[in-house]
A = this chain, B = another copy of it.
Amino acid sequence: MTVSREVELAGHIIDSGTMGACFGIVMDMGGTFEVEAFDIGRHETDESYARLVVSADTEEQLQQIVHELHQNGANPADPSDATLEQAPEDRVVPHGFYSTTNHPTEVRYDGEWLPVDRIEMDCAVVVEPAGDAESDGTDGADGDGTDDETDADSDPTDADEDRPRAYTKVLNAIEAGDLVVTGEAGIRVHPPERPRDGGGAFGFMQGGVSAERPSETTIGNVADAIRETKADDGTVLAVPGPAVVHSGAREDLARLVREGYVDAISTGNGFAVHDIERDLYGTSLGMDTESLDHPRKGHKHHIYAISEVIRAGGIEAAVESGVVESGVMYECIEHDRPFVLAGSIRDDGPLPDTITDAIEAQNAIREQAHDADLVLMLSTLLHSVAVGNCLPSTTPTVCVDIDPATVTQLLDRGSAQAVGMVTDIGTFLPMLADKLLASP
C-alpha cells in the first residue's frame, strides 16, 4: 500500500537550500516524491514555487516525513484547519500535540491563518477562540500562571481580544482545558531564508562560526549591529559568564551597561558574586586589582562577598548602602537595567537576588528573551543555552567563547542571524567597548 500527500514550497526555496533539504528528507526517510509543479524565480529577486506529491508505505511513515518537511518549510498543499484538543489536566498535553520549532509559525483556525505569538521551540500551541479573554489565555508562553503587567500581548484592553489568538505554552504551563494543537494539519512554518541584500549591519551574521575570521573586523561588525539596534530603539540583552570577570573585562561590560549599549543582563549567581567580589576586595584591601586574581584567596573572598550582600539584604540594598560601588551589577542598579540571576546547583550562597527555582528562572529568562532585539552570549554555556531555548529564530545573536565546541553548540539552533566568535572575552569586551564608546 502506498499513501501520498501533496505539499508545497514557496519563496527563495532554491538558493536558501529549502528545496534541496526537502528532497533530501523524503529520500532519507524512505519515501518517494514527484514534482507536480515547479515555477522557478528566473531572477534572483523572484520567488519560486514547487508542489510535490510525497508517498510512503505506511500512514505512520508518511506522517513522519510530512512532519519533517513541515519543520523545514513545506506545507500541505490543501490546508485544513488545525486540529485542537483540550488538555485533560494541568501540565498534561493531549496525545500527538504539535511541538513547535523556533521559526515563525501560523496555525489555521476557522479558515484563517493565525500567527503563533511568542514562538519558541519545544512548546505546545494553544488557540484561544475569539472573545475568550480568560486571564490564563492571555498569559502566553511565560508559563507563570499570572497576569504579567508588562506584557503587551496580554493587555485585557487589547483591541484584539475579540479575535482568536494562538500562542506557545511550555509543557509545565499547560492548564486543563487549554485548546492545544495536535497533529500536522493546518500549521505553516517559515524557516528563515538567507537575506539577499547582504543583511545590512547584521549581514556578517550569516557567517556561522569561524576561528579564521579577522577578529578586530568582526568585533567592529558586532559594534555596528549594537549601534543599529540601539538606533532602532531595540533592546540589547547580554548573557555574561564569570569568565568576563576573571579575564579582566568586567569594567568594559560595566561601561556598556552604563552608557546604554546593554539594556538587560541575563546571568547567574556566579557572575554576580564574582562581579561584586572584585568590587569589595579589589579596593578595600588595598590590593592592585590587576593581580587580585590570586587563586589562593579566591574562595575566601568569594564566600565573604556573598555573605556581605546577604547581610545588606540584596544587591540593590548593597548598592544603595554604599557597600557595592562599581561593576556590572552596580551599573544595572544605578541605571535601572533589569537583570535576572538564575540559580544553579553549583552556586555558592546564593545571593538573595538569585531565583533558585529553575521553572521560575526560565520564565524570567523567557521574558528577557522575547523582549530582546539583539543577544550577546558572553562566555557562558549554561545561561546562553537557557536564553537560546526561548529565542525565536529571527533574533540576531552573537556568541563569544574561547571554546569552539561551545560556540558550535550555541549556533546550532537554526537562528537566521547568528554569528559565533571563537575569541578571548578578555580582549573582546575591551575592544568592543572601545569601538562603541570611542566614537563621538
Contacts and interface: CB of A to CB of B under 8 A. Distances in A.
A422 interface: yes
Contact of A428 (B310, B362, B427): B427
Given A15-B23, A27-B44, A345 B383 contact: yes
14 contacts: A15-B24, A19-B20, A34-B43, A35-B40, A35-B42, A171-B303, A214-B247, A342-B345, A344-B344, A346-B389, A356-B357, A422-B424, A423-B424, A431-B431
Interface in A90-126: 91-93, 97, 99, 101, 121-122
Interface stretch (A158-166, A294-302, A319-327): A294-302
Interface string A180-222: 0000000000000010100000000000000111111101000
Given A307-B93, A307-B171, A345-B342, A426 B216 contact: yes
Given A247-B215, A427-B216, A20 B26 contact: no
Using C-beta atoms within 8 Å of the partner chain, give the interface range for chain A. 35 or more
A32 interface: yes
A429 to B, nearest CB: 9
Given A345-B383, A357-B356, A121 B423 contact: no
Contacts of A93: 307
Contact of A43 (B32, B211, B243, B356): B32
A68 B296 contact: yes
A389 B293 CA distance: 20
A362 B345 contact: yes
A213 B293 contact: yes
Interface string A277-309: 000000001000011010011011011101100
Given A23-B14, A299-B99, A345-B358, A40 B42 contact: no
A172 B350 contact: yes
